[in-house]
């Protein structure tokens, strides 16, 4: 699949933003974000909302006809993209009400603020899940058609959100012990889930050129595509990265996405070197941008079978 930069930025930024909001609100509901004043909690919510909003705005950039984007709210019953749009828009009034409560009463939770916070948390969760399901629901792309995909989206969103929350806690002068520990756990779980995904997509699977043509007993190869230059189908679906490049990027995903931030947070816990907490989110986001690029570049749409690929 063609890796569109707007969609890569959208999924990484909104995943991290929603992850940050989810963790901040849930910690607050459990009795306050450890080591953070209410102004810091409010700042964390703001950063999360800004990231999510930037992502959602970027997602409209890949639309070829954005003037009809408002219609995307009306097929909630069947379309995961529509569900994502609805959940992400419902998220805003809830999180604004919750932030208002935080601003008015500080650390103490008013009952309506708690309800709004819970709703905002659940809607953030639902939005990230639906983002994953947009891809996982496509039977045409074997590398995406798996429950591992929404699981990865959720875990990577939460892990990057936790690393961001650690940085914000340190920036607001708090002790990051609890959030950093939480970030470590989430990084490990997200890293394992991503590793399982990479193992799972290792082998071509799904339809073959034989089933695509309906001739199942002999070898088939394409003689000619019937066109003298690439069409929309080739530009959108036939993107293929070099194998070496994929390996290099996977290394970057593991090192920048999981290993390096893990080590940075461990050192932070041992030495209180605040700079590490501030650098960690940048490293994680860099790793996740590579991860998201690979998510598209490694996905092989079955229409490639009609262009001579033996299996997807």
Partner 1 sequence: MKLGLVIDTDTCVGCHACVVACKQWNTSGTLGPLTDYQPYGKEPSGVAFNRVRTYEVDTYPNNKTINMPVSCMHCETADCVTVCPTGASFKREEDGIVLVDQDKCMGCNLCAWACPYGARELDEAVGTMKKCTLCVDRIYDELLPEADRQPACVLTCPTSARVFGDFDDPDSEVSRLVRERNGYQPMSELGYNPVNHYLPTRHKPHAETTPGTPLPSLTERFKSWIGKSVSR
Instruction: Give CA–CA dist 162/27, Å, rounded.
Output: 11
Measured from the CB of residue 299, what is the shortest distance to partner 1 in angstroms? 9
Measured from the CB of residue 69, what is the shortest distance to partner 1 in angstroms? 5
* Candidate list 36, 52, 126, 134; residue touching partner 1; CB under 8 A: 134
CA dihedral angle for residue 29, residue 33, residue 39, residue 44, rounded to 10 degrees = -90
CA distances from 34 to 23, 25, 93, 267 (A): 12, 12, 26, 19
Binding residues for partner 1, total number by CB under 8 A: 56
Instruction: Give CA–CA dist 68/308, Å, rounded.
Output: 36
* Candidate list 56, 58, 99, 138; residue touching partner 1; CB under 8 A: 138
Identify which range of 29-37, 81-89, 120-128, 165-173 contacts partner 1 by CB under 8 A: 81-89
Measured from the CB of residue 21, what is the shortest distance to partner 1 in angstroms? 23
Nearer to partner 1, 123 or 285 (CB): 123
* Candidate list 103, 104, 147, 227; residue touching partner 1; CB under 8 A: 227
CA dihedral angle for residue 57, residue 59, residue 62, residue 64, rounded to 10 degrees = -70
Instruction: Give CA–CA dist 195/188, Å, rounded.
Output: 10
Q: Taking each helix axis as running N to C, give the angle between helix 5-29 and helix 148-171, from 0 to 180 degrees, rounded to the nearest 10.
A: 60
Nearer to partner 1, 72 or 90 (CB): 72
Residue pair 159/187 in contact (Cβ under 8 Å)? The answer is: yes
Measured from the CB of residue 303, what is the shortest distance to partner 1 in angstroms? 4
Which H helix or E strand runs over 185? helix 177-200
Closest CA to 212 of 116, 310, 117, 127: 310
Under rule CB under 8 A, residue 62 binds partner 1: yes
* Candidate list 31, 78, 242, 271; residue touching partner 1; CB under 8 A: 78
DSSP string covering 293-307: HHHHHT---GGGGGG
Identify which range of 17-25, 159-167, 171-179, 224-232 contacts partner 1 by CB under 8 A: 224-232
Identify which range of 37-45, 67-75, 184-192, 248-256 contacts partner 1 by CB under 8 A: 67-75
Per-residue binding letters, 178-207, with partner 1 (x by CB under 8 A): -----------------------------x
Identify which range of 27-35, 50-58, 79-87, 111-119 contacts partner 1 by CB under 8 A: 79-87
* Candidate list 30, 111, 203, 221; residue touching partner 1; CB under 8 A: 221
Cα angle 95-101-103, degrees, rounded to a multiple of 5: 100
Under rule CB under 8 A, residue 71 binds partner 1: yes
Measured from the CB of residue 14, what is the shortest distance to partner 1 in angstroms? 16
Under rule CB under 8 A, residue 75 binds partner 1: yes
Closest CA to 120 of 140, 100, 104: 100
Under rule CB under 8 A, residue 231 binds partner 1: yes
* Candidate list 30, 31, 64, 203; residue touching partner 1; CB under 8 A: 64
Closest CA to 265 of 157, 152, 164, 158: 164
Under rule CB under 8 A, residue 302 binds partner 1: yes
Residue pair 71/125 in contact (Cβ under 8 Å)? The answer is: no
Report residue 167 as tokens: 């940085």
Where do contacts with partner 1 occur on this chain (CB under 8 A)? 1, 62-69, 71-75, 78-82, 85, 134, 137-141, 207, 211-215, 218-233, 236-237, 301-303, 305-307
């Amino acid at each position: 699949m063609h890796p569109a930069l707007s969609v890569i930025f959208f999924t990484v930024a909104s995943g991290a933003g929603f992850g940050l909001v989810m963790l901040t609100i849930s910690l607050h509901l459990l009795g306050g974000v450890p080591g953070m004043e209410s102004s810091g909690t409010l700042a964390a919510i703001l950063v999360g909302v800004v990231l999510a909003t930037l992502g959602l705005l970027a997602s409209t950039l890949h639309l070829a006809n954005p003037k009809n984007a408002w219609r995307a709210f009306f097929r909630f019953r069947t379309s995961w993209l529509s569900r994502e749009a609805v959940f992400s828009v419902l998220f805003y009034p809830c999180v604004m009400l919750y932030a208002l409560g935080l601003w008015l009463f500080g650390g103490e939770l008013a009952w309506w603020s708690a309800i709004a916070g819970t709703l905002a948390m659940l809607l953030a969760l639902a939005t990230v899940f639906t983002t994953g399901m947009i891809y996982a629901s496509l039977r045409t792309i074997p590398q995406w058609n798996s429950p591992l995909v929404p699981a990865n989206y959720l875990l990577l969103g939460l892990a990057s959100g936790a690393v961001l929350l650690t940085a914000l806690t340190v920036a607001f002068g708090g002790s990051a012990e609890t959030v950093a520990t939480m970030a470590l756990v989430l990084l490990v779980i997200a890293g394992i889930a991503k590793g399982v995904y990479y193992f799972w997509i290792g082998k071509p699977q799904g339809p073959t050129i034989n089933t695509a043509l309906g001739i199942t007993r002999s070898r088939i190869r394409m003689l000619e595509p019937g066109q003298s230059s690439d069409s929309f189908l080739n530009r959108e679906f036939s993107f293929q990265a070099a194998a070496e490049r994929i390996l290099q990027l996977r290394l970057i995903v593991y090192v920048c996405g999981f290993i390096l931030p893990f080590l940075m947070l461990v050192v932070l816990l041992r030495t209180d070197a605040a700079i590490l907490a501030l650098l960690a989110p940048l490293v994680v986001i860099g790793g996740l941008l590579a991860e998201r690029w690979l998510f598209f570049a490694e996905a092989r749409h079955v229409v490639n079978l009609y262009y001579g690929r033996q299996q997807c």
